[in-house]
Amino acid sequence: MQISLKKIYSGKVRDLYEIDDKRMLMVATDRLSAFDVILDDPIPRKGEILTQISNFWFNKLSHIMPNHFTGDSVFDVLPKEEAEAIQHRAVVCKRLTPVKIESIVRGYLTGSGLKDYKQTGTICGLALPEGLVEASKLPQPIFTPSSKAEVGDHDINISYEECERQIGAELAEQVKKAALALYTEAAEYALTKGIIICDTKFEFGLDEDGALTLMDEVLTPDSSRFWSVDTYQEGTNPPSFDKQFVRDWLENSGWNKQAPAPKVPADVIEKTVAKYQEALDLLTK
Ligand SMILES: Nc1ncnc2c1ncn2[C@@H]1O[C@H](COP(=O)(O)OP(=O)(O)OP(=O)(O)O)[C@@H](O)[C@H]1O
Ligand SMILES: [Mg+2]
């Protein structure tokens, strides 16, 4: 679908279009990135599903802090035909000044957190109890910021002190408090729906008055690790909700993880769509 606004950014998954100097249109595409490489084949409807999940959380968590919605609908800013075509995958949002760190919250131990813990007994400089294993629930959720990498690089976990140095102590404190509050409420709710939110990444921005505002996407399978309560087992690596089929298939294909990725078979793509849809259904029904 052609959009008659000026494209200002094309990310791994989302495209941004300028509406005016205060607002932009964020369109979630069906692109999937695995191991930081964007696959050639889109995952049909993925962008719509992600947008619905994100919108659900933005609304549910709006009592905790302001978010980037302007209140406009896509029909207010696009010709009718264009708006109809993208209405389920696009939102009108405020153009914020991004806070330049990744605000990660972890409730369970896995991934780069587990790797750090095994090497140092800490994550981002935070000491954790001894004897934790893969997928252990942490005594309480922890804020583990990482620095936003330049395109093509991997993000690096940083200590809270480094985070304070990068964005200022006052903002760091606000971000940490907000991220923990958002995660805690969301994780409690998701658990009642059979989903464990292992960890997640929030992005924040500052509005024109300097108010901290939740932006980007919120608590989707792309920005989080979702595990099913049914298959969760401490000591194992629980299958994650989203890219598991694609990742497993890619791992077994012998691919060297350099672009381009091999062509993913249709049944793997279908299973992936089904998992995204399942996450949306479980959370919102
Ligand atoms: N309200 C907002 N104001 C300004 N920037 C925003 C807002 N909401 C989201 N963004 C930015 O829009 C982009 C969304 O695109 P996408 O998530 O596909 O990018 P990405 O490949 O993850 O890129 P990045 O590495 O910059 O996050 C991100 O860079 C995100 O930080
Ligand atoms: Mg992103």
Query: pLDDT for 216-245, tens place per residue?
Result: 999 999 999 999 999 999 999 988 887 778
| pLDDT tens digits, one per residue of 174-216 | 999 999 999 999 999 999 999 999 999 999 999 999 999 999 9
Of 146, 113, 145, 119, which is closest to residue 237 (Cα–Cα)?
A: 113
- Kindly report the protein residue whose alpha carbon is nearest to atom 29 of ligand 1: 11
151 pLDDT more than 70: no
- What whole-number percentage of the chain has pLDDT above 90? 88
Distance 216 CA to ligand 1 centre (A): 6
Q: Model confidence at 152, in pLDDT bands (50, 70, 90)?
A: low
- Kindly report the protein residue whose alpha carbon is nearest to atom 7 of ligand 1: 216
Task: Out of 216, 220, 222, 224, give the residue to mutate to test ligand 1, the one with the largest number of ligand atoms within 8 Å of its CB.
Answer: 216
Give the C-alpha separation, 199 to 255, whole Å.
27
Handedness of CA 30, 241, 150, 180 (dihedral sign): positive
- Kindly report the protein residue whose alpha carbon is nearest to atom 9 of ligand 1: 216
Q: Model confidence at 153, in pLDDT bands (50, 70, 90)?
A: low
79 pLDDT more than 90: yes
Ligand 1: does its nearest atom lie under 6 Å from the Cβ of 93? Answer: yes
Average pLDDT over residues 134-158: 87
Q: Which ligand 1 atom sits nearest the alpha carbon of residue 16?
A: 12
CB 105 within 8 A of CB 197: no
Model pLDDT, residue 270? 94
Q: How far is CA 82 from the centre of its chain?
A: 26
- Ligand nearest 155 Cα, by number? 1
For the chain, give the mean pLDDT: 95
Model pLDDT, residue 4? 96
Q: How far is CA 205 from the centre of its chain?
A: 15
User: For the chain, how far is it from start to end, CA to CA, in angstroms?
Assistant: 30
